[in-house]
Structure 1
Amino acid sequence: MTAEARIRNLRWRLTALFTLTSLVGLVGLAVFALRSDTAAAHRQLEATMNLQADHAISLIDYDDNRRLDLQPLIDTMDSDCPPLTVLSGPADHLTVARTPPRPCVALAPDDVRAVASTALRHGSEAWADSRTPDGDPVRLLATLYPGPNDRSWGGALVTAVDTADSESEHRHLVTLLTVGCAVLVSLSAIAGHLLSGRAIRPALTALRQQEAFLADAAHDLRTPAASLRALAETARHDDTLRGEALDRTVRLATRMSDLIDGLLTRARLIAGVATVTREPLRLDQLVEAVVDDTATHGHQVTVVARPTVVEADPELLRRAVTNVLNNALAHGHAPGQGAEVELTVSPEGTVTIDDAGPGIPPSLAGSLFERFHSTSGSTGLGLSIASWVAHTHGGTLTVETSPRGGARFVLRLPGHTKHRL
């Protein structure tokens, strides 16, 4: 797996981790909310039923013969809703003293008797859950009332509440929370993917810059390295040329050192840790120096220059002019013939390079300055580097048809000054 693929895979892992964290957090909050809602509903229901039961028990009385008197209860409370069932006697022999004539909640007699027996056996109130004949959920409460001598329990009062509406509201809350969690998790996944993309973007940029640096280094150092090897072989096999070869080797090594410094400078500029060093320089002299340092090998190179001063980075500008000139020498001639190249330096801060070759097809003009674009066996980096240098200085590098019939490359630099150094 390539480094870029690993970085992109990391993005998906970060997205998954962000989504999983959001999912766990939202599910935990939803469960807590549902449990809190259930507990609050139960507390409210039980408090209401306790109040009703306590009020009803306060109305249960006995007559002079110590017989159960429920008339105050009947006269004061609507015992049909909530349904109030009064049972008397011990837990094992309970008898129904009164049932609501028209209860709003239908109760199974066995369930009523069971919860009342439980309360009497334990000597405290008892709760139970049941269902009506129609299947609706019901909450039952059995509360003890005192006997005629207040020394024992006379029986139990059973009340009930239909909880179907409450459970329906709870299910609706579950649905809302489920849908809400799903939407929020989806949004968090999208947000996590976008944020992770922004997080890995600097790493991808740094990786591409590193690859560009290595490619540029290989392009710029390949020719000097080959020349050094050729000079070393010449010095080894021909003693008469050894001194000249060593002198040229020293100059070429110095040039390679300058190239390496330029490459490092460009890498730092792209990374944003350095700025372009602008200083006044003679553009015409720089172009002449580039021509003098370039091996023509049978090609004819003419320089037409007027004294021109621009503000630019000397090393970067030298590399740009060198790359365009080398491109003209390599491609600006017919096979088997020498190239005829003319460089013109104008006071407007423009370097024009004309050749008499086959020219540039219009279909290739738009992509000529792209990285690794080449119509021959070269790496396709020379013109892209020159274009990058021009744009770094706020200028342009364009190509058009030359009056000589070949290609014309125009390097324009802004912010020039029209004075001599």
Structure 2
Amino acid sequence: MSVDPLRRARTRARTRAQALTPTARVVRLRRRISLLFALTSAVGLVAMAVLAVRSDSARWREQLDHAMDADTSWALGLLETDESGRLDTGVLAETVNTDCPPLTVLLAADDDPGRVTVQHAPSKACLSVDPAVVLEAGSAAVRADDTRAFDRRTRDGRPVRVFAQPFYAPEAAEDEGPQGVLVALADATGPRADHQRLVWIVTGGCAVLVLLSAAVGHVLSGRAVRPALAALGQQEAFLADAAHDLRTPTASLRTLAETALRGETDGAEVHRRTLRLAEGMGRLVDGLLTRARLMSGTASVARQPLRLDQLVEAVVDEAPVADHRVRVEAKETVVVADPDLVRRAVGNLLGNALAHGHAPGVPADVLITVTRDGTVTVEDAGPGLPPEVAGALFERFRSGSGSTGLGLSIASWVAHAHGGTLSAERGTRGERGGARFVLRLPTSG
């Protein structure tokens, strides 16, 4: 019974993951990269911080131990022996009767090596600790037969460092234990406060560095996924354009096929209309692929010196102008551009003028001029451009009635790919001014 809820939860998680759009997945990847970058930096900084804190902790303890070792070593030089050869601590006890640093002389019991007794203790020590603390340190040094140091606290709660140095009889055998222990105390308030201050500084510094690392990781991951997001945006735009622009001719083909099946239209007429729709869809698909290549950067721009006036005349000669009137006023002009792309751009501008640059039932009157500065102007005598859409004709879905909207978009991409421009403005021909499209390309000079 417990397996089904877990399985359902995993299924819901997979469903949510599959429901994410590619863009959302890239954004989620960016967040994960930023988090991983921050965690990696945090682990490294924390490891370095722990190492620094431990090193400082060991350093101030070693400094206190070294100072107390010097004091106890000097005091042990005062040891004397009596007539029987036993160590006499009387001179030591009288000499080290100081209050700071407090030194306590302990003697080891003969019957119990782990037990020590106090032979001398300061009368007015500057650091007052529980006698059990001193006895504990002495016993530990006797049992270990070596120096020992501990962190303890005074009676009033101040931190203190306890250092125990064992001493031996002058002629003691190698296996004979210490005769006694000299215990010293050192105030650790200052060093411990400095250490705590360092801990807070290191902790705050690590927190700031982790936040800074997270911000830097977020910026770097954003730059890393920016090309992917741009590519996904271009792909989504291409798919949206393809779906939007193929919907109308596909519906027309379906309607035409249904009409033909019902026998309501002459077969020859159906074939002619089907052929026109197929040719239109072919041009549409070709335009979509060209725009996709331009947007993705896969369409290389083969720049070379080009006679722009001759290219424009060739485009006009090849265009199906029918009953429309197209005039060309061109001066000898050389530009540096890709012939195929410029041919497509000029053809798209001419096609747009022939399709929309005239009133219904009236032939179009188009004037194309080419000037020596690499400018191609296509002007018609049609209804003109509304001011509110003149600057947005080259955006997605800014198409006129019955148009795919790709021709002007591709022409704009071609212009920008060559370092030129394409602008649209109201013309001076026709009753309402017409439309004028100005394509500027860099010249050979």
TM-score by length of 2: 0.75
1:278 to 292, 295, 304: 304
Could you say which residue in structure 2 is the equivalent of 1:300?
A: 324
Once the two structures are TM-superposed, the CA of residue 160 in structure 1 deviates from its matched residue by 1.3
Q: C-alpha distance in 1, partners of 2:331/2:255?
A: 37
Q: C-alpha distance in 2, partners of 1:113/1:338?
A: 118
Q: C-alpha distance in 1, partners of 2:355/2:298?
A: 34
Could you say which residue in structure 1 is the equivalent of 2:437?
A: 409
Higher mean C-alpha deviation, range 376-385 or range 395-404: 376-385
- Is 1:46 paired with 2:65? yes
Could you say which residue in structure 2 is the equivalent of 1:361?
A: 386
- Letter matched to residue 286 of structure 1: A
Structure 1, residues 374-408: CA drift from partner, whole Å, max 9, x if none? 46564433212112222333433222222222222
Contact 1:217 1:263 in 2 (8 A): no
- Letter matched to residue 317 of structure 1: V
Higher mean C-alpha deviation, range 144-153 or range 190-199: 144-153
Contact 2:312 2:346 in 1 (8 A): no
Q: C-alpha distance in 1, partners of 2:299/2:408?
A: 24
2:123 to 101, 105, 130: 101
Residues 301/7 of structure 1: CA separation in 2 closer, same or farther (3 Å cut): farther
Unpaired runs of 5+ residues, structure 1, are none
Could you say which residue in structure 2 is the equivalent of 1:373?
A: 398
Contact 1:265 1:274 in 2 (8 A): no
Structure 1, residues 5-43: CA drift from partner, whole Å, max 9, x if none? 211221111111111110111111111222222223333
Residues 224/212 of structure 1: CA separation in 2 closer, same or farther (3 Å cut): same
Q: C-alpha distance in 2, partners of 1:390/1:219?
A: 24
Residues 228/277 of structure 1: CA separation in 2 closer, same or farther (3 Å cut): farther
TM-score by length of 1: 0.79
- Is 1:267 paired with 2:293? yes
Could you say which residue in structure 2 is the equivalent of 1:3?
A: 22
RMSD over equivalenced CA pairs, Å = 4.1
5 Å-filtered alignment, 1:1-400, equals: 1-64=20-83, 68-71=88-91, 74-75=94-95, 79-88=98-107, 90=109, 94-147=116-169, 150=172, 153-211=178-236, 260=286, 263=289, 267=293, 270-271=296-297, 274-281=300-307, 282-290=310-318, 292-293=319-320, 296=322, 300-306=324-330, 308-311=332-335, 312-334=337-359, 336-348=360-372, 349-374=374-399, 376=401, 378-400=403-425
Contact 1:18 1:189 in 2 (8 A): yes
Q: C-alpha distance in 2, partners of 1:283/1:308?
A: 11
- Letter matched to residue 340 of structure 2: E
Contact 1:284 1:308 in 2 (8 A): no
Q: C-alpha distance in 1, partners of 2:117/2:199?
A: 42
Higher mean C-alpha deviation, range 115-124 or range 166-175: 115-124
Structure 1, residues 106-139: CA drift from partner, whole Å, max 9, x if none? 1222222333234445544444432111101222
Contact 2:34 2:218 in 1 (8 A): yes
Residues 284/149 of structure 1: CA separation in 2 closer, same or farther (3 Å cut): closer
Q: C-alpha distance in 1, partners of 2:236/2:33?
A: 25
- Letter matched to residue 107 of structure 1: V
Percent identity between the aligned chains? 45
Once the two structures are TM-superposed, the CA of residue 185 in structure 1 deviates from its matched residue by 0.8
Once the two structures are TM-superposed, the CA of residue 105 in structure 1 deviates from its matched residue by 1.3
Once the two structures are TM-superposed, the CA of residue 86 in structure 1 deviates from its matched residue by 1.5
Once the two structures are TM-superposed, the CA of residue 207 in structure 1 deviates from its matched residue by 2.8
Count of residues in correspondence between the two structures = 406
Once the two structures are TM-superposed, the CA of residue 307 in structure 1 deviates from its matched residue by 6.0
**Matched residue of 1:303: which SS?**
strand
Structure 1, residues 35-91: CA drift from partner, whole Å, max 9, x if none? 22222333333333223222212212245586844335644x573222111133515
Q: C-alpha distance in 1, partners of 2:102/2:284?
A: 101
Q: C-alpha distance in 1, partners of 2:288/2:142?
A: 98
Residues 309/147 of structure 1: CA separation in 2 closer, same or farther (3 Å cut): closer
- Letter matched to residue 77 of structure 2: S
Unpaired runs of 5+ residues, structure 2, are 1-19
**Matched residue of 2:162: which SS?**
strand
Q: C-alpha distance in 1, partners of 2:115/2:225?
A: 79
Once the two structures are TM-superposed, the CA of residue 178 in structure 1 deviates from its matched residue by 0.6
